[in-house]
């Protein structure tokens, strides 16, 4: 079972349901590179856990108080968002405008935090061929389809960089 293998491998690597300052910094760098308000390092077990999380501060959005945008928790149901699709597909997914894809437009996060764009890639452990989770960024404004290739390249490069970081930290890299 993939879930049991993923949970076991995350435990072996010392990863999982703990916020991580290094992953938060990674998410912030990704959000800046993507020009997106949100970015996550997401380990998926019975739920999604954002070990790395970047959200806009009230000053970033130019708003404060109740209109500053919704607060994003580090825990999200496996039914929400697009990362579970990336996990199952084992391939990167880029949605320049989620409204253009009926299958994805009705996802609860569209209304919850106003997601209009998404890019995510699976974090595949080369040693065990286990998908540990995803790295992703989301935006609240649609992007043109012409940005798709650049976005795909950015999310794949980010995935590769993050896996190198994980292997450096844990010594659990490819054989």
**Per-state percent for the chain, helix, strand, coil, to nearest 5:** 45, 20, 35
Span 8-56, pLDDT tens digits: 999 999 998 899 999 999 999 999 999 999 999 999 999 999 999 999 8
Give 11's DSSP letter: H
Q: Is residue 165 part of a domain?
A: yes
- The pLDDT score that the predictor gives to residue 174 is 67
Closest CA to 120 of 109, 98, 136, 143: 136
Give the pLDDT score at 172: 67
CA atoms within 13 A on the CB side of 40: 26
- On whether residue 155 sits in a domain, the answer given is yes
Residues 6+ apart with CB under 8 A from 122: 86, 87, 89, 90, 91, 92, 131, 133, 134, 159
Domain presence at residue 114: yes
In a domain, 175, yes or no: no
pTM of the full predicted structure?
A: 0.89
- CATH code at position 14: 3.30.450.40
- Tell me the residue range of the domain where 86 lies: 2-170
User: pLDDT at position 17, please?
Assistant: 86
The position carrying tokens 């450096």 is: 168
Please tell me whether residue 79 adopts helix, strand or coil conformation: coil
Q: Is residue 39, in this structure, part of any structural domain at all?
A: yes
Domain presence at residue 153: yes
Q: Going residue by residue through the chain (175 aa), what tens digit of pLDDT does each one get?
A: 589 999 999 999 999 889 999 999 999 999 999 999 999 999 999 999 999 999 987 644 443 444 445 667 899 988 888 999 999 999 999 999 999 988 888 888 888 788 999 999 999 999 999 999 999 999 999 988 777 889 999 999 999 999 999 999 887 676 5
DSSP letter assigned to residue 90: T
Q: Which residues have CB under 8 Å from 67's CB, separation 6+?
A: none
Q: Determine the Cα–Cα distance for residues 153 and 46; give it in Å rounded to an integer.
A: 29
Is there a domain that residue 17 lies in? yes
Q: What is the pLDDT of residue 37?
A: 95
Phi, psi (5° rounding) for residue 76? -140, 145
Looking at the 3D structure of the chain, how many domains does it have?
Answer: 1
pLDDT at 58: 63
| Neighbouring residues of 5: CB distance < 8 A, sequence distance ≥ 6 | 128, 130
């Amino acid at each position: 079972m993939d879930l049991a293998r993923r949970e076991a491998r995350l435990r072996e690597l010392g990863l999982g349901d703990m916020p991580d300052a290094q992953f938060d910094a990674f998410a912030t760098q990704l959000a800046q590179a993507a020009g997106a308000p949100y970015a996550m390092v997401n380990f998926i077990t019975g739920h999604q856990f954002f070990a790395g999380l970047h959200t806009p501060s009230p000053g970033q959005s130019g708003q404060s108080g109740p209109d500053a945008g919704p607060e994003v928790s580090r825990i999200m149901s496996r039914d929400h968002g697009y990362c579970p699709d990336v996990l199952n597909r084992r391939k990167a997914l880029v949605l320049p405008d989620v409204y253009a894809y009926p299958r994805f437009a009705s996802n609860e996060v569209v209304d919850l935090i106003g997601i209009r764009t998404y890019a995510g890639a699976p974090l595949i452990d080369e040693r065990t061929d286990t998908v540990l989770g995803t790295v992703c960024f989301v935006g609240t404004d649609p992007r043109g389809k012409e940005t798709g290739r650049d976005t795909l390249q950015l999310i794949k490069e980010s995935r590769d960089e993050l896996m190198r970081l994980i292997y450096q930290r844990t010594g659990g890299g490819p054989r």
